[in-house]
Amino acid sequence: MFKNRAGLRGRVLSLAVAGALGVMGTAIAAVPAGGPFHALAGATQLSRGDTIRNTVPLNQAIRISVVLKLRDEARMKSFLAKVGASNAPRVMSQAQLQNHLPSPAQAQAVADYLQRAGFSNVEIARNRMIVHATGSAATVQSAFQTSLVAVRTHDGRDAFANNTAIRVPASLQDTVQAVLGLQTVHTAHILARPRPASQIGVMGHDPLEFANIYDANSLAPATALNVAVWGWGSMAPTISDLKVFTQDHGLPKVRTRVVCTDTNGINGDTGEGLGGTTIGDPTCNGNVDQGSIEWDLDSQDIIGMTGGVKSMTFYAAYGGYNTTITDSLDEIVTPTVGEPLPKVINASFGECERYEDANQGGDGSLQADDALFQIAAAQGQTFSVSTGDSGADECGFGNPEDSASYPASSPWVVAVSGTTLRASSTTWARENVWIDSGGSPSSAEMAQPWQAGLTYGPFAGARGPDVAFDGNPSSGAIIYVSAYGGYIQVGGTSLSAPLFTGAWARIFQGNRSLGFAAPHLYALPGYVIHDVRSGNNRGYVARIGWDWASGLGSFDIGAAAAALAGQQ
């Protein structure tokens, strides 16, 4: 099913060719004692337009995150496979969960190695899933038997990356999942899109209208639920915009928190002061606005769809780098600075999964995040994730067969693709696939039991989208964005995801035993589902029932809640 992987891999440039540019001679200190080494991930692959400039200065400080493996992952997956089954446990107890987290001895062994290798600020995460440390480029190269080069990216950033494989001592290979922080070339991107030219028969909607259109208002508001928005950069503009939005709509003020991870950055000229997690500073240590239109879309549509929440926590992952997203994810899964554990989390961002999959030249952040998403699902959290706005070809290689966006392609989130919604201000009429909506088989992830039987064609068994809600900017949400001067109409699958976030929050508010959403969606009866039967995303065509472009489609929220309650 992954027949195109080799061909697609050949369409990107590997940093392994850097030797021809004279950078393979980077000075590497003596490798610390540790016996034989095991290759964990290959050289970072460059995108078209990225260029290698030089070697990385040996004294440049780098903050790394060594992510550990789950213990007995097979049993964890077996538990999650049964979450939607009748009479099966839906949430794992904390005592059970401890049996799957790395042991104190495993985490300490990693920390001890890093300390011997010369790293400072070595810290073990509360759940022992990550060991953080700060070291010079020379220390990094020595500890992981790799070399680092400076890169000018196609989008004008100064970055760095490993140009040879990342290795860990063989004694740690059964413990370490990934070593993140050795590349800053690949970053996630937001998916909000302002409205283009109008489309005949389609109109935009106030966020409060979606609750009527999708029948969320037949349920009580989600005012007892803690939800979250996940992104990066300063959240101060978004919190200010949310206040204006709620005031203008006569809604109660939303209780907000901002949790910032890696507030002091991940690379610099000194070896101290990197990392850091804070709560209460909406600017995240003076960061600039890096996408308030996105976080505005997320937050205002969640409030419109839910009718209100107990609290909304904004998680800011410094810069949207793979490593900082993982650090932020760990904080969402295991809060450490006093925020509540959110039950529904919105993520309207992503990147080509191949740049994260260790088996396809990525840095291993896909495998690292998958482990954390499994913990989240096991303890009843649901992540709602946009599938992307590049149609069926998220990776941009010109071959849309299996080109998905991560984290949407993780089997332990709900992947939400986009539709063109045709509706009045109160009543749903129909939906078709939005032509730019992400949606394709994954090149890296397998479908779980609740979805696998519905997949079809050459990629049967691969992971695909779960549901679809309005995403076309022409039928998008009218939100307040101060950076754009006031109310504007915005779409993208960045709208689709918060609509599902709000939908599930309202369902979960009245049925707390449900836990992780995905398996339950596949148990919904056909009469509550809005099957998307027309349209395409320039790769896959909608068809009756589940399809690669739109998953199951959208659904009537009130009817879905009643159906799920009746199945207990």
Q: pTM higher than 0.85, yes or no?
A: yes
Mean pLDDT over residues 528-536, rounded? Answer: 97
User: How is the chain split into domains, by residue range?
Assistant: 5-73+102-180
**Percent with pLDDT over 90 in the chain:** 84
Summarised one tens digit per residue, pLDDT across range 317-340 is: 999 999 999 999 999 999 999 999
Residue 274's pLDDT band (cuts 50, 70, 90):
confident
SS3 96: helix
pLDDT surpasses 60 at 62 = yes
pLDDT confidence bin for 269, thresholds 50/70/90? low
Roughly how many angstroms between the first and final C-alpha of the chain, as a whole number? Answer: 37
* Residue 199 confidence class, pLDDT cut points 50, 70, 90: low
Residue 1 clears pLDDT 50, i.e. is over it: no
| CB of 200 closer than 8 Å to CB of 485 | no
Does 304 score more than 50 pLDDT? yes
| Residue 294 a catalytic site member | yes
Q: Report pLDDT for 446.
A: 97
Which of these is catalytic: 437, 494, 550, 554?
Answer: 494
Residue range 531-559: mean pLDDT, rounded: 98
d(CA 458, CA 4): 11
Residue 159 has pLDDT above 70, yes or no: yes
Candidate list 298, 301, 351, 394, residue with the active-site label: 298
Residue 89: the pLDDT is: 80
Q: Above 50 in pLDDT, residue 352?
A: yes
Q: How confident is the model at residue 20 (pLDDT cuts 50, 70, 90)?
A: very low
| Residue for token pair 């009045």 | 424
Average pLDDT score, the chain: 91
Residue 397: per-residue pLDDT: 85
Q: Residue 301 catalytic? A: no
Q: What is the C-alpha to C-alpha distance for residues 331 and 315, in angstroms, rounded to an integer?
A: 9
pLDDT band at 3 (very low <50, low <70, confident <90, very high): very low
Tell me if 181 sits within 8 A of 63, measured CB to CB.
Answer: yes
Segment 282-294 shows an average pLDDT of 92
pLDDT-derived band of residue 270, with 50, 70 and 90 as boundaries?
very low
What are the pLDDT digits (tens) for 74-133?
999 999 998 877 777 889 999 999 999 999 999 999 999 999 999 999 999 999 999 999
For position 273, what pLDDT does the model report? 60
Say what the alpha-carbon torsion angle 346, 285, 265, 65 is, to the nearest 10 degrees. Answer: -50
Average pLDDT (332-355) is: 96
Q: Give Cα 210 to chain centroid, integer Å.
A: 24
- For the question of residue 437 being annotated catalytic, the response is no
* DSSP structure string for 276-318: -EEES-TTTTTPPPS-HHHHHHHHHHHHHHHS-EEEEEEEEEG
Q: What is the pLDDT confidence band of residue 9, given thresholds at 50, 70 and 90?
A: very low
**Contact (CB, 8 A) for 553 and 530:** yes
Query: Looking at residue 490, what is its pLDDT?
Result: 96
As a whole number of angstroms, the distance between CA 472 and CA 470 comes to: 6
pLDDT confidence of residue 200: 60
At residue 192, the pLDDT reads 82
Give me the percent of the chain exceeding a pLDDT of 70.
Answer: 92
Answer whether residue 501 shows pLDDT above 80. Answer: yes
Distance CA 405, CA 474 (A): 23
CA-CA-CA-CA torsion for 378, 379, 380, 384, nearest 10 degrees? -70
Query: For residue 268, what pLDDT is reported?
Result: 76
Q: Which of the following is catalytic: 241, 262, 294, 331? A: 294
Nearest to 316 by CA among 361, 342, 344, 285: 285
